[in-house]
Each structure stands twice: as structure tokens, then as C-alpha cells.
């Protein structure tokens, strides 16, 4: 009797500060898939034991994250998929068109938070 088999390929890259999602899929010819689990999940990630859905926004200090997703069938057979994510830097920066000036300080238009540029900085 064979256990479940992953039909999805785990992604290998993610970007710091950007939402990452992965929906693993698996089949089982001789039984019903009953549960999903994860080990060594990154801090702050979300994992659904009902569907295997995984989501995470890698922090700006993250470089690599390795975790294991397990799928189990109704006969207690299981298969593991190791996910190794190389987390790259988010090199995008706000453009001037996405910023506005408030109280002599530049803020992003999307969230109103300062971007660290002040008008009266001596050079």
C-alpha cells in the first residue's frame, strides 16, 4: 500500500517583506488525505492543517528558511516535503510619486509612515 504523493513542487525563493504563499498538493491512490502538518515553521508564518496552505512574510533579516510539510492519509501513511527558501532582499524603494510631504517630512502615500527623508538635513 502506497502513501500520499506530493504533486506540487516546493518553491525555492521568497523576498524579504513580501507575502509568500504556497499551496502544496498531494494525491493518494489507496486512501483519503486526512491532515497536513508542518515542522520548523518560520516565526510569524501561517499554516492550515486542513489544507496545507502556507503563508509568511519573511522579515528583513531573513536569509534562508527550511521547514518540512507532511501530508498524512487515512491509513496513517505519510510523506514529507522539505521546503528550502532562499530569502532575497527587497531592493525596491518608494518612488517620489508614491510619497507626500507632511510637516517637513516625506511620508509614503500608502501608509503615511516617514521614509526617513527630512527637508532640512544639512549636507
pTM score: 0.73
Question: Which top CATH class is 5-88?
Answer: mainly beta
| Percent share of the chain, pLDDT over 70 | 74
pLDDT score for 77: 95
**How confident is the model over 49-61, as pLDDT tens digits?**
999 999 999 998 8
**Reduced to 3 states, what is the DSSP secondary structure of residue 31?**
coil
Kindly report, residue by residue over 90-119, the tens digit of the pLDDT.
776 555 555 566 666 666 555 445 555 444
CB 24 within 8 A of CB 71: yes
pLDDT in tens, 22-59: 999 999 988 899 999 999 999 999 999 999 999 999 99
Q: What is the pLDDT of residue 50?
A: 95
Strands 78-88, 13-15: parallel, antiparallel or unpaired by DSSP? parallel
Q: Provide, for the chain, the percentages of residues in helix, strand and coil under a 3-state DSSP scheme, each rounded to the nearest 5.
A: 0, 45, 50
Q: Is 117 left (phi over 0), alpha (psi -120 to 50) or beta?
A: beta
Q: Give residue limits of the domains in the chain.
A: 5-88, 93-123
Amino acid at each position: 500500500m502506497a502513501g500520499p504523493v506530493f504533486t506540487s513542487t516546493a518553491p525555492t525563493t521568497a523576498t524579504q517583506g513580501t507575502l509568500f504563499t504556497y499551496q502544496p498538493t498531494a494525491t493518494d491512490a489507496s486512501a483519503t488525505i486526512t491532515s497536513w502538518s508542518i515542522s520548523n515553521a518560520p516565526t510569524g508564518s501561517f499554516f492550515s492543517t486542513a489544507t496545507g496552505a502556507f503563508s509568511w512574510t519573511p522579515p528583513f533579516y531573513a536569509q534562508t528558511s527550511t521547514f518540512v510539510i507532511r501530508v498524512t492519509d487515512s491509513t496513517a501513511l505519510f510523506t514529507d516535503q522539505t521546503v528550502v527558501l532562499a530569502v532575497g532582499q527587497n531592493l525596491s524603494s518608494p518612488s517620489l510619486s508614491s510619497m507626500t510631504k507632511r510637516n517637513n517630512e516625506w511620508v509614503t502615500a500608502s501608509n503615511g509612515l516617514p521614509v526617513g527623508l527630512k527637508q532640512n538635513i544639512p549636507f
